[in-house]
């Protein structure tokens, strides 16, 4: 590993005039193009932002009816799931909630678990190197219904009937957006494999275009029937004298242990899925303490290692003492240094992250240690990209001894001729489009805040198109199983087994300053999530961007970490840059060992809220990357 040596720093200092010139040029470019493609949102009473305009409207409806931010977030979750906004009702939900009365951040873990029979031996017996990308064998237990119901019961104010009303209206028929309709057409050969999916999505079967047309009413009678059963369970409990929260949890019981569970399991098994009634009954939502670290005077909150959330905290710990403004936003030196910071953090993610409820125990204390961050920082090569960055040893910074030093020693993401442990598919040929699709595997985001101080940041996902529909439930099944590994040498903390949650990419964020909400942020897009959220955070904190500028800014993406989907492949040195990147920055990065590719938009679909603690108001940013939309009052 190349270290930061005095001579390297001297060479960097000699380049300082050039760096300053580039930095000033880029800062000027940012200032000159300060106008954003979407206007910044301003709110005093409430704010609702999510992945689709109609879904944002459902949040606004709930706010106008007197609901709080949790009620509105649950309504937006229900409508985005109903709209198949890169997720559906059989997927997974994870959230951060700021509780204004308790003055703390709460984490919601509603990620599904592997069903019975899901073992490495099972998938290897089918000739698979990992669980499949699509279909019933890709599905964990449904998490979104449980997550929504628990959040609403514990922290909301309205009834389930009120909160589900917009989604149920949409299930009876809503005009489908072009983005979703075209996804169905593009993936119709996969959809055709599953009878209920075929009947639901291919509404013009046999015609040249078999998917719905943009703007065509899309009707989901089976899903409407399932949602009606949830409301029916709640209303019966209310009529029997139950209070609001208890009545909502009766709907939870009906989904996970009642007739809905029976219908879901029957539908899954008919397709060859592994789910059992016991799997659904045993699964539960966890209300957790979030993971937290500080960046200067800001407390940053993320979810635990069952998702990739702590990787942003690790990166911030490494980045905290570096002088980012002097490098200049998106200068070659800035991009290079931050790429190396991310590589160090993501290498740890790829080896040490997994379900904390299932042994072995992740070394979280060491991973988030500031001393460990300093040690990792010392490994940065200030001149060139290091394709050989490996996971570190956080056990040196906490109690205990690393039980996987043998795996760690052999770890590599680059082709080797010796016995180094790398994914067997790393050296094999791969379909670039499939790899890119996996790298960007989507979700949606939800941001909500109100005048009472409630703040909600959600990154739900799973059951995206092409979704296998479970029988006559109308529920699209998750595809999250593909995030597991089968070989402990790849990640001993994330080997598939029944009841374990896969290490997902889903990663809402929240930050407090002076003990009060300062930022709430999230993004969809698989492995890019904590990469662009890290850059968003630095854009606001270090470069003074307003929230809309920060959600639209031209960020870069690293491909050096292992893909969490499809093939789990890493591509050291590969970097996505914005097409506006100046030629001298491109050339400089190529000389440092990077292999750039380019796109017109590289921000990622970030949605965020910034809180004005003096005025008691908030500003919101809705991404211009896709169809994200916000409404405020």
Angstrom distance (rounded) from CA 587 to CA 583: 6
First to last CA, the chain: 53
Average pLDDT over residues 81-95: 95
pLDDT of residue 566: 76
pLDDT of residue 436: 54
**Dihedral pair phi/psi, residue 49, rounded to 5°:** -135, 135
On the question of pLDDT at 82 being above 70, the answer is yes
Contact 570, 343 (CB under 8 A): no
Angstrom distance (rounded) from CA 514 to CA 362: 30
pLDDT of residue 328: 98
Q: How is the chain split into domains, by residue range? A: 6-40+288-443+489-494+501-614, 51-91+105-284+461-483
On the question of pLDDT at 433 being above 90, the answer is no
CA of residue 505 relative to chain centroid, distance: 5
Helix (H, G, I), strand (E, B) or coil at 277: helix
Angstrom distance (rounded) from CA 235 to CA 254: 13
pLDDT of residue 626: 84
Percent of the chain with pLDDT over 90: 87
Percent of the chain with pLDDT over 70: 90
- Could you read off the pLDDT of 473-525 as tens digits, one per residue? 999 999 999 999 999 999 999 999 999 999 999 999 999 999 999 999 999 88
Q: Residue 624: beta bridge partners? A: none
Average pLDDT over residues 453-463: 97
Contact 464, 88 (CB under 8 A): yes
609 Ramachandran zone, left/alpha/beta (phi>0; psi -120 to 50): beta
pLDDT of residue 525: 87
On the question of pLDDT at 163 being above 50, the answer is yes
Of the ranges 7-16, 530-539, 579-588, 601-610, which one carries the lowest mean pLDDT score?
7-16
Contact 468, 135 (CB under 8 A): yes
Average pLDDT over residues 64-83: 98
Report the 10 Å Cβ neighbour count for 285. 21
Angstrom distance (rounded) from CA 509 to CA 621: 14
Contact 441, 528 (CB under 8 A): no
Q: pTM score > 0.75 for this model?
A: yes
Mean pLDDT estimate for the chain: 92
Average pLDDT over residues 339-367: 98
pLDDT of residue 414: 82
Angstrom distance (rounded) from CA 369 to CA 397: 7
On the question of pLDDT at 536 being above 80, the answer is yes
More confident residue, 440 or 264: 264
pLDDT of residue 69: 98
> Measuring CA to CA, which residue among 322, 326, 333, 321 is closest to residue 383?
333
- Could you read off the pLDDT of 561-615 as tens digits, one per residue? 999 997 888 999 999 999 999 999 999 999 999 999 999 999 999 999 999 999 9
Residue that is written with structure tokens 């944002």 in the block: 56
Q: 69-82 vs 144-155: helix axis angle to the nearest 10?
A: 160
**Dihedral pair phi/psi, residue 588, rounded to 5°:** -60, -45
- Residue 24 binned pLDDT confidence (cut-offs 50, 70, 90): very low
On the question of pLDDT at 220 being above 60, the answer is yes
Average pLDDT over residues 289-304: 98
Up-side HSE of residue 255: CA atoms within 13 Å toward CB? 28
- Residue 428 binned pLDDT confidence (cut-offs 50, 70, 90): very low
- Residue 415 binned pLDDT confidence (cut-offs 50, 70, 90): low
Average pLDDT over residues 217-234: 98
CB contact burial 516-530 (16+ within 10 A = b; e otherwise): ebbbbbbbbbbbbbb
At the second CATH level, the architecture of 6-40+288-443+489-494+501-614 is: Orthogonal Bundle (1.10)
pLDDT of residue 567: 81
> Measuring CA to CA, which residue among 81, 85, 19 is closest to residue 52?
85
Sign of CA dihedral 190, 192, 197, 198: positive
**Dihedral pair phi/psi, residue 280, rounded to 5°:** -70, -40
Report the 10 Å Cβ neighbour count for 616. 10
SS (H, E, C) 518-585: EEEEEECCHHHHHHHHHHHHHHHHCCCCCHHHHHHCCCCEECCCCCCCCCCCCCCCEEEEECCCCHHH
């Amino acid at each position: 590993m190349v270290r930061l040596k005095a001579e390297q720093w001297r060479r960097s200092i000699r380049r300082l005039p050039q760096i300053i010139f580039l930095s000033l040029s880029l800062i000027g470019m940012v200032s000159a193009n300060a106008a954003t493609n979407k206007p910044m949102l301003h709110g005093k009473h409430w704010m609702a932002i999510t992945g689709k305009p109609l879904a944002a409207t459902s949040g606004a409806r709930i706010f106008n009816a007197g609901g709080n931010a949790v009620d509105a977030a649950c309504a937006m979750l229900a409508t985005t799931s109903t709209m198949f906004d890169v997720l559906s009702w059989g997927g997974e939900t994870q959230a951060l909630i700021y509780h204004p009365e308790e003055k703390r951040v709460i984490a919601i873990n509603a990620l599904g678990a592997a069903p019975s029979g899901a073992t490495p031996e099972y998938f290897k017996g089918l000739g698979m190197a990992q669980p499949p990308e699509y279909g019933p064998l890709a599905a964990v237990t449904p998490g979104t219904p449980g997550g929504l119901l628990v959040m609403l019961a514990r922290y909301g104010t309205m009834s389930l009937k009120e909160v589900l009303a917009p989604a149920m209206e949409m299930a009876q028929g809503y005009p489908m957006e072009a983005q979703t309709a075209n996804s169905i057409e593009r993936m119709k050969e996969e959809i055709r494999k599953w009878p209920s999916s075929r009947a639901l999505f291919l509404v013009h079967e046999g015609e040249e275009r078999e998917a719905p047309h943009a703007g065509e009413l899309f009707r989901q009678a089976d899903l409407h029937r399932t949602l009606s059963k949830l409301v029916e369970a709640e209303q019966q409990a209310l009529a029997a004298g139950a209070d609001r929260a208890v009545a909502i949890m009766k709907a939870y019981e009906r989904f996970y242990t009642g007739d809905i569970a029976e219908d879901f399991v029957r539908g899954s098994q008919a397709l060859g899925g592994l789910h059992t009634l016991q799997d659904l009954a045993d699964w539960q939502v966890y209300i957790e303490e979030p993971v937290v670290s500080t960046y200067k005077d800001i407390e940053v909150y993320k979810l635990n290692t069952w998702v990739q959330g702590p990787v942003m905290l690790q990166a911030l710990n490494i980045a905290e003492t570096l002088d980012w403004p002097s490098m200049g936003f998106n200068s070659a030196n800035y991009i290079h240094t931050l790429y190396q910071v991310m590589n160090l953090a993501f290498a740890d993610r790829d080896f040490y992250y997994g379900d904390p409820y299932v042994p072995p125990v992740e070394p979280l204390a060491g991973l988030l240690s500031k001393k460990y961050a300093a040690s990792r920082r010392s490994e940065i090569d200030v001149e060139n990209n290091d394709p050989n960055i490996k996971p570190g040893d956080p056990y040196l910074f906490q109690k205990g001894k690393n039980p996987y030093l043998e795996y760690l020693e052999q770890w590599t993401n680059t082709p080797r001729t010796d016995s180094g442990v790398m994914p067997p598919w790393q050296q094999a040929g791969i379909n670039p489009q499939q790899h890119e699709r996996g790298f960007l595997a989507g979700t949606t985001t939800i941001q909500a805040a109100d005048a009472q101080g409630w703040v909600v940041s959600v990154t739900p996902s799973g059951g995206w198109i092409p979704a296998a529909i479970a029988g006559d439930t109308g529920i699209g099944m998750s595809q999250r199983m593909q995030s597991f590994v089968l070989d402990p040498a790849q990640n001993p903390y994330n080997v598939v087994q029944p009841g374990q949650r896969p290490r997902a990419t889903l990663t809402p964020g929240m930050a407090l300053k002076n003990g009060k909400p300062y930022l709430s942020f999230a993004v969809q897009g698989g492995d890019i999530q904590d990469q662009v959220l890290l850059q968003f955070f630095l854009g606001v904190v270090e470069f003074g961007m307003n929230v809309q500028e920060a959600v639209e800014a031209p960020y870069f993406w690293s491909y050096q970490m292992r893909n969490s989907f499809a093939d789990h492949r890493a591509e050291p040195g590969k970097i996505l840059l914005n097409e506006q990147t100046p030629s001298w920055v491109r050339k400089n990065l190529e000389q440092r060992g990077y292999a750039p590719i380019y796109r017109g938009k590289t921000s990622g679909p970030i949605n965020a809220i910034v809180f004005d603690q003096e005025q008691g108001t908030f500003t919101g940013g809705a991404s211009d990357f896709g169809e994200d939309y916000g409404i405020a009052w």
